[in-house]
């Protein structure tokens, strides 16, 4: 069984391979009457698009989205929205090496073990190109949650973290790393360039925050908001860890340190919290505080250093992965993490409305 | 919408509140012909049972499971297996304080925000007693995956980690902390007792490993084995983080350091890996290496120190949480993490069989 | 894979065998704050209960329901509602014959073919006793749709149909056949008694109508309201056909005859239809007219006449089904059909609210 | 909530409107390694294609399918198969009348009531053009069940049924009505032509049979094979009734008449049945006999006779539906019914394999 659909009420299914003619998403369950055209989606795809700086893969893809259904006279109709992105730059090259030997860290061996064979061109279905479809679907999801503002950024590359004292929201879009700390961005430019030139790669941590989520979204006990976010993030290519709020740091705190005290709102409206160790979720349900999470991306598995591996006959060999690759795949993960946040929240807004009106 | 069902083919639904008459699980999709009676399940419930040492809550629950359906003449029939555990020790006490004021860190406020009111007795549905139902279901799941061996243990309490050099598999069951390092267990005994006596609490990290999973379980791209494990673990009470393999540490490695080289099997059978940074999963599919993960438990939110909060009318107040509580809820999380591992793996074994025969 | 859960947002799972200790349903996704106790459910179970006249099976079951979770202080909490009904009258008898030979028309052979063995006592999971759980869940569903009024009745037994000219809503509850035509009820009393005494059985047609469903429930294209109703009804034991509106008769009409013309409401409110061939559903979505459907029940397969069959070793034999049986199982299908109607409508009300607010 | 996905393990999602740029299906969960290219699918689309005789709509659509993903080197890879069919003949016309007034029998009013507005061009999402996507998906499903042979035909038009004595399997493909009785086909030619010329329409009954389904597919109790077939068929445009086996006729039989006796296989293999009133399904599980069902199609709602209706402001008006329409939509339902049969059976084959190996 293969499961290429995500979500419960607001759902999307993606399809497509790295080197096939196109890839796409079908968004189902979207409320009717929302203003939507290609121009609503394209900026999000542009943010994820490869080849925008020397710090990302040089594959040139316009990633132009087409809406094939579900929109009439500029508004969603409530029927499925089919989004298609054509693959343009499937550079003609020789795949005989990757067809034959398993690249460690990639899904090559696992796919062969599961399916008996695989589309080896550019990683096939396991390529990070699939995330373009998520980003497109995420742009639709954002229309469902206009009350929510989502911010994602890189907080750490290769173990070098931002300084919270330098945090500047405006800085995020100013550098090619989605980095809110200009100093860190300068350091990372050197680190990532060095990795790029040497054919190496670096891991990264992406942080994401959603403001404006009201208290009450989420659901006991197997559709907890944090559980669904964990699945959403862990399913992104190269992700190996996910934390909500203080995450693993919370495991090192005492109960007193970890408490999020409450006090009445100054104006009698929504209550206030004087801390947010919980990351805005308690018992799987939003508390009205910002939802905060952090996602760990491993270093890109494609490196120029030869690594021991086996070929499809099981014989020993070595492989070095040539071709166009991101020296730090976490950078381009930023718009994907933000998209998955939007997709989970849109779904849970509708789920909540279904049960509680 | 409330979602109390987990899984895709091998599924279970749980029900019950902390202080209701009973709680239970309905396991659906279980293969027929497996040997099952109450004695198969009880040892796993006993491992999770409260009140077994002074380091866990003193609530006395026999947690005796009854099988109400789905088994005939000692074997599963393929129809739903209804498991019920009666609540016995719902100590008569005064709930007026917790009924009125929101306990920070608990789901009290979030439930009220969502549902308009809540069963405040012992946390109602958000109580960790729900995990007894998971453990019972997990015992059934283990029958589906006899080829897999699951080991879970506490690797860290209050920031004090085990020393890998001291790792002793046999030690895990010998101390009340599920700790594989006898020295660490001795230190923890002091730390946890101190927290218990002062009405404080500590966080913990639980590690889990599954040996024997063949290559090929899992599925692209929204039922990745790691994504399903992340949802399974993040949905456990008090969990705030989940890592697969090296997790966040992988974000600090270079591509060369993070590679898991392969070599042919000595005997020509399953290929071997000379490292396992990936935790046994690539592209969402098992590689045949051990599945490894780590789960962060926050400190128990119930503490004796008064914390600022509000009451259900929104007025400022303070609350200290009396009653019987785990000073370190992560300890009793060990059998729950192991159960969720079994449940995810059983489901994915059947999912794989469905598609790939 | 076994699927014992029905519904999308308002869902229920059932469990239990004919001769196990109990059976039950877990209702999930129910809105919070609805008044519910055992007394709300019991009358519907009483209506389905066996042994109430000589025209139904003489098994004596009180079918007393217990609510084990999901209700606090008399109101639904939004968490799963566990309903349990103990089996009382599992008459001690000799099952060796039915254990060994397959009863034609029953699921005996199919269960063995699927699962390799079966709980043969009283049909096990395939027994119509499972429908008690549906009726209990249906009573909860009715609370979700107070605007809807559901009427079900037998319209035909053994090919002898009611006369629409005699239709009297009040008559339905006055006779043991749920028959709205007193003359037909008198005729059926003779027919069914004759079948009972001779150990034979009769089929029946059950009609059901739901008034008060607003226009707009249902959804394109694989959760059409009529498609979900068809699945709901066809899944009831002994059902072999389902019609919406004019059903098969519509296939014999011309487009002009089958049209349901519309006209403005006299008072400017909801538009009116001057016919309802469509049974209140167009394009899978309710039109605001009454939802009407008809369900065909085959004659009870348990008969005293010996029928050729095989035993579990494949050898030829004959079997006559002794024991307590309904001479016309369609009669007791009436509350079940009504329950499934309520369950589908409750689900679609919430589904509609999820997407369209 | 909108649900445009069908199936449990072998699933497909469809998208597209009558007059949008394209429509399509995404097939997920398909086993790997099956031979598939456009040529495998096209013949089934050609069978459904409009404009092939004067008895169907004159819209000219090549319905050429493109495979956009999930196939590599001519074989399915196990990843989602995206199928796209471009709309070509969206005849430029004036939709102002249908945009303003509700066509009785169509989904116009219901869509507006649900979504607030609708794509009125050619019925939008409620158009029978959506069934092209089902037929394409069904062609893939057939690859999963090579052991099964599916036959569908029209058994009745406008109340004029075939004579079983004339049944000739070879005749089905020889006439434009998929009619196995040459005499009936001749009569229908006159009837349908008369309806076409007068701008009227006729209903039809489609029968479908699946040979080769082994005993054991299907599942208790809410994924019964017959329940899933009922949902599949009732969800086809214009369908108002579905019968399994003898269907409503079974409600008129006695238990003795309705029995399907068994006897040992002559050669000791699969047991034989000497009747098939049940239509090959008992307890929701296949028995090894042919699966038989019948589906009622209402007459096309688009007729030239003016019918009373209201406009979108609620004012009284009349409408006659001009344009290109099928005088008997049931005829083109034949390949759609066969496709849905294949889709349900493929899903249940994999479901069975998941649970029972």
For chain B, say whether D323 makes contact (Cβ under 8 Å): no
The predicted model scores a pTM of 0.98
Residue C1: what pLDDT?
A: 54
Strand B75-76 versus strand B11-16 pairing type: unpaired
Neighbouring chains of D at 3+ CB pairs within 8 Å?
A, B, C
pLDDT band at A96 (very low <50, low <70, confident <90, very high): confident
How many CB pairs lie under 8 A apart between chains B and D? 41
Contact assignment for A261 to B309 by CB distance below 8 Å: yes
Cβ-contact D332, D238 below 8 angstroms = no
d(CA D301, CA D310): 16
> What average pLDDT does this structure show over B217-224?
96
* Residue A168, number of CB atoms within 10 A of its CB: 12
> Nearest CB to A354: which of C32, C220, C353?
C353
> Which residues 118-137 in chain C show a CB within 8 A of chain B?
118-119, 124-125
Residues of A within 8 A of B288 (CB-CB) are 113
Residues of D within 8 A of B351 (CB-CB) are 9, 354
Q: What percent of chain B has pLDDT over 70?
A: 99
How many alpha carbons fall within 13 Å on the CB side of residue B152? 24
> What average pLDDT does this structure show over B70-97?
89
Cβ-contact D219, D351 below 8 angstroms = yes
d(CA A227, CA B240): 10
Q: How confident is the prediction along chain D (357 residues), in pLDDT tens digits per residue?
A: 579 999 999 999 999 999 999 999 999 999 999 999 999 999 999 999 877 888 888 778 899 999 999 999 999 999 999 999 999 877 657 788 889 999 999 999 999 999 999 999 989 999 999 999 999 999 999 999 999 999 999 999 999 999 999 999 999 999 999 999 999 999 999 999 999 999 999 999 999 999 999 999 999 999 999 999 999 999 999 999 999 999 999 999 999 999 999 999 877 678 899 999 999 999 999 999 999 999 999 999 999 999 999 998 999 999 998 777 889 999 999 999 999 999 999 999 999 999 999
Task: Please state, rounded to an integer, the average pLDDT across all residues of chain B.
Answer: 94
User: Which residues lie below 8 Å from residue A136, measured CB to CB, with a gap of 6+?
Assistant: A24, A25, A41, A44, A45, A65, A83, A85
pLDDT along chain C (357 residues), means of 10: 90 96 98 98 93 81 95 98 92 78 94 95 93 98 98 98 97 96 98 95 98 97 97 98 98 96 85 96 98 98 94 93 85 97 98 96
How far apart are the CA of D17 and the nearest CA of chain A, in angstroms?
6
Residue D91: what pLDDT?
A: 65
Q: Taking Cα atoms as reference points, which of A173, A133, A132 lies closest to residue A151?
A: A173
For chain B, say whether C11 makes contact (Cβ under 8 Å): yes
| Residues present in chain B in total | 357
For chain B, say whether D250 makes contact (Cβ under 8 Å): no
pLDDT of residue A61 exceeding 70, the answer is yes
Neighbouring chains of C at 3+ CB pairs within 8 Å?
A, B, D
Residues of A within 8 A of B254 (CB-CB) are 158, 195, 200-203, 299
For chain D, say whether B96 makes contact (Cβ under 8 Å): no
d(CA B313, CA B266): 70
Residues of C within 8 A of D303 (CB-CB) are 255-256, 259
Cβ-contact B25, B136 below 8 angstroms = yes
Residue B1: what pLDDT?
A: 54
d(CA C115, CA C105): 18
d(CA C314, CA B159): 66
> Which residues 336-355 in chain D show a CB within 8 A of chain C?
351-352, 354-355
3-state helix, strand, coil in chain C (%, to 5): 35, 25, 45
Dihedral angle sign, alpha carbons of residues C136, C137, C138, C139: positive
pLDDT of residue B95 exceeding 70, the answer is yes
How is residue A327 annotated by DSSP?
S
Contact assignment for D220 to B79 by CB distance below 8 Å: yes
> What average pLDDT does this structure show over B265-288?
92
State the residue for tokens 């329950």. Answer: C339
For chain D, say whether A90 makes contact (Cβ under 8 Å): no
How many CB pairs lie under 8 A apart between chains A and C? 41
Instruction: Identify the residue with better confidence: A302 or D186.
Output: D186
How is residue C147 annotated by DSSP?
T
How far apart are the CA of B300 and the nearest CA of chain C, in angstroms?
23
Q: Taking Cα atoms as reference points, which of D200, D214, D180, D228 lies closest to residue D299?
A: D200
d(CA A281, CA C189): 62
Residue of D nearest to C352 (CA): D1
For chain C, say whether B15 makes contact (Cβ under 8 Å): yes
How far apart are the CA of C346 and the nearest CA of chain B, in angstroms?
12
> Nearest CB to B353: which of D29, D32, D354?
D354
Residues of C within 8 A of A350 (CB-CB) are 354-355
What is the DSSP code string of C204-268? EEEEEEEE-PPTT-BBTBTB-HHHHHHHHHHTSTTEEEEEETTGGGGGGSBHHHH---EE--TTS
For chain C, say whether D220 makes contact (Cβ under 8 Å): yes
pLDDT band at B114 (very low <50, low <70, confident <90, very high): very high
How far apart are the CA of A293 and the nearest CA of chain D, in angstroms?
28
State the residue for tokens 């008694």. Answer: C193
Tokens standing for residue A282: 């308690």
How is residue B104 annotated by DSSP?
T
Cβ-contact A287, B110 below 8 angstroms = yes
How far apart are the CA of C353 and the nearest CA of chain A, in angstroms?
5
Residues of C within 8 A of D104 (CB-CB) are 259-262
d(CA D116, CA D108): 11
Phi first, then psi: give them for residue D127, nearest 5 degrees. -65, 150
Contact assignment for A15 to D81 by CB distance below 8 Å: yes
Q: What percent of chain B has pLDDT over 90?
A: 87
Contact assignment for D314 to C264 by CB distance below 8 Å: yes
Task: Sort D324 into a burial class: Cβ within 10 Å, 0-12 / 13-18 / 19+.
Answer: middle
> What average pLDDT does this structure show over B197-213?
97
Residue C265: what pLDDT?
A: 85
Contact assignment for B24 to C82 by CB distance below 8 Å: yes
d(CA C77, CA D204): 49
Contact assignment for B119 to C28 by CB distance below 8 Å: no
For chain B, say whether D227 makes contact (Cβ under 8 Å): no
Contact assignment for B2 to C30 by CB distance below 8 Å: yes
Q: Taking Cα atoms as reference points, which of D244, B1, B237, B229 lies closest to residue C347?
A: B1
Residues of D within 8 A of C235 (CB-CB) are 221-222, 224, 226-227, 284
> Nearest CB to C31: which of A78, A351, A355?
A355
Tokens standing for residue D104: 């009785």
Contact assignment for B285 to A111 by CB distance below 8 Å: yes
3-state helix, strand, coil in chain A (%, to 5): 35, 25, 45
How far apart are the CA of D333 and the nearest CA of chain C, in angstroms?
13
Task: Please state, rounded to an integer, the average pLDDT across all residues of chain A.
Answer: 94
User: Which residues lie below 8 Å from residue B355, measured CB to CB, with a gap of 6+?
Assistant: A1, A2, B219, D9, D29, D30, D31, D32, D78, D350
Cα angle at D260 between D258 and D266, to 5 degrees? 160
Q: Taking Cα atoms as reference points, which of B208, B241, B338, B349 lies closest to residue B285?
A: B349
pLDDT tens digits along B206-217 = 999 999 999 999
> Nearest CB to D260: which of C104, C222, C252?
C104
Contact assignment for C82 to B1 by CB distance below 8 Å: no
pLDDT tens digits along C155-212 = 999 999 999 999 999 999 999 999 999 999 999 999 999 999 999 999 999 999 999 9
For chain D, say whether A1 makes contact (Cβ under 8 Å): yes
Cα angle at B205 between B203 and B211, to 5 degrees? 160
Residues of C within 8 A of A29 (CB-CB) are 354-355
How far apart are the CA of A3 and the nearest CA of chain D, in angstroms?
7
Contact assignment for D354 to A68 by CB distance below 8 Å: no
Q: Taking Cα atoms as reference points, which of B158, B157, B159, B155 lies closest to residue B171?
A: B155
Q: What's the order of all strands across the beta sheet hosting A160-161?
A: A160-161, A149-157, A204-211, A291-297, A239-244, B239-244, B291-297, B204-211, B149-157, B160-161
Residues of A within 8 A of D3 (CB-CB) are 28-29
> Nearest CB to C244: which of D240, D301, D355?
D240
pLDDT tens digits along D238-266 = 999 999 999 999 999 999 999 999 999 87
Answer left, alpha or beta for residue B113, where phi above 0 means left and psi between -120 and 50 means alpha. alpha
Neighbouring chains of B at 3+ CB pairs within 8 Å?
A, C, D
d(CA C299, CA C301): 6
Contact assignment for A255 to B300 by CB distance below 8 Å: yes
Q: C256-281 in b/e burial notation, b at 16+ Cβ within 10 A?
A: eebbbbbbbeeeeeebebeebbbbbb
What is the DSSP code string of C73-114? TTEE-SS-EEEEEE---------HHHHHB--TTSSHHHHHHH
Residue A92: what pLDDT?
A: 58
Phi first, then psi: give them for residue B81, nearest 5 degrees. -100, 110
Please give, one letter per residue, the 3-state secondary structure of chain D: CCECEECCCCEEEEEECCCCCEEEEEEECCCCCCECCHHHHHHHHHHHCCCCCCCCCCCCCCCCEEECCCEECCEECCCCEEEEEECCCCCCCCCHHHHHECCCCCCHHHHHHHHCCCCCHHHHHHCCCHHHHHHHHHHHHHHHCCCCEEEEEEEEECCEECCHHHCCHHHHHHCCCCCCCHHHHHHHHHHHHHHHHCCCCECEEEEEEEECCCCCCEECECECHHHHHHHHHHCCCCEEEEEECCHHHHHHCEHHHHCCCEECCCCCCCCEECCCCCCCEECCEECCCCEEEEEEECCCCCCCCCEEEEECCCCEEEECCCCCCCCCHHHHHHHHHHHHHHHHHHHHHHHHHHHHC
C-alpha dist (Å) from residue C200 to C178, D123, D246, D281: 21, 50, 19, 22
Dihedral angle sign, alpha carbons of residues B260, B263, B265, B268: positive
State the residue for tokens 């069904």. Answer: D138
Residues of D within 8 A of C252 (CB-CB) are 156, 158-159, 203
Please give, one letter per residue, the 3-state secondary structure of D213-271: CCCCCEECECECHHHHHHHHHHCCCCEEEEEECCHHHHHHCEHHHHCCCEECCCCCCCC
Q: Taking Cα atoms as reference points, which of C88, C138, C198, C102 lies closest to residue C333?
A: C138
pLDDT band at A97 (very low <50, low <70, confident <90, very high): confident
For chain C, say whether A146 makes contact (Cβ under 8 Å): no
d(CA A348, CA C354): 10
Largest CA distance in chain D: 71
Residue D82: what pLDDT?
A: 98
d(CA C64, CA C42): 7
User: Which residues lie below 8 Å from residue D174, measured CB to CB, with a gap of 6+?
Assistant: D182
What is the DSSP code string of C286-322? E-SSPEEEEEEEPPPS--SS-EEEEBTTS-EEEE---
d(CA B340, CA B130): 13
Q: Taking Cα atoms as reference points, which of B133, D255, B312, A292 lies closest to residue C204?
A: D255
């Amino acid at each position: 069984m293969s499961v290429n659909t995500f979500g419960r009420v607001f759902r999307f299914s993606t399809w497509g391979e790295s080197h096939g003619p196109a890839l796409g998403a079908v968004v189902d369950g979207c409320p009717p009457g929302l203003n939507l055209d290609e121009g609503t989606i394209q900026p999000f795809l542009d943010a994820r698009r490869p080849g925008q700086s020397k710090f990302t893969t040089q594959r040139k893809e316009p990633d132009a989205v087409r809406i094939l259904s579900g929109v009439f006279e500029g508004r969603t109709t409530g029927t499925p929205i089919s989004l298609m992105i054509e693959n343009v730059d499937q550079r003609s090259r020789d795949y005989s090496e990757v067809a034959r030997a398993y690249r460690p860290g990639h899904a090559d061996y696992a796919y062969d073990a599961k399916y008996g064979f695989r589309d080896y061109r550019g990683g096939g279905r396991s390529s990070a190109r699939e995330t373009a479809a998520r980003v497109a679907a995420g742009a639709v999801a954002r229309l469902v949650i206009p009350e929510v503002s989502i911010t994602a950024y890189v907080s750490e590359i290769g173990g070098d973290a931002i300084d919270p004292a330098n945090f500047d929201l405006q800085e995020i879009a100013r550098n090619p790393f989605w980095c809110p700390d200009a100093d860190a961005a300068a350091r990372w430019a050197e680190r990532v360039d060095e990795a790029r030139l040497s054919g190496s790669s670096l891991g990264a941590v992406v942080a994401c925050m959603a403001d404006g989520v009201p208290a009450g979204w989420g659901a006991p006990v197997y559709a907890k908001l944090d559980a669904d976010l964990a699945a959403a993030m862990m399913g992104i290519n190269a992700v190996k860890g996910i934390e909500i709020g203080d995450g693993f740091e919370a495991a090192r705190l005492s109960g007193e340190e970890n408490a999020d005290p409450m006090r009445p709102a100054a104006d009698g409206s929504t209550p206030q919290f004087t801390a947010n160790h919980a990351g805005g979720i308690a018992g799987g349900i939003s508390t009205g505080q910002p939802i905060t999470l952090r996602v760990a991306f491993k270093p890109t598995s494609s490196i120029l250093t030869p690594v021991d591996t086996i070929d499809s006959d099981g014989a020993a060999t070595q492989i070095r992965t040539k071709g166009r690759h991101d020296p730090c795949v976490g950078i381009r993960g930023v718009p994907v993490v933000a998209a998955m946040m939007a997709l989970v929240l849109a779904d849970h807004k509708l789920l909540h409305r279904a049960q509680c009106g």
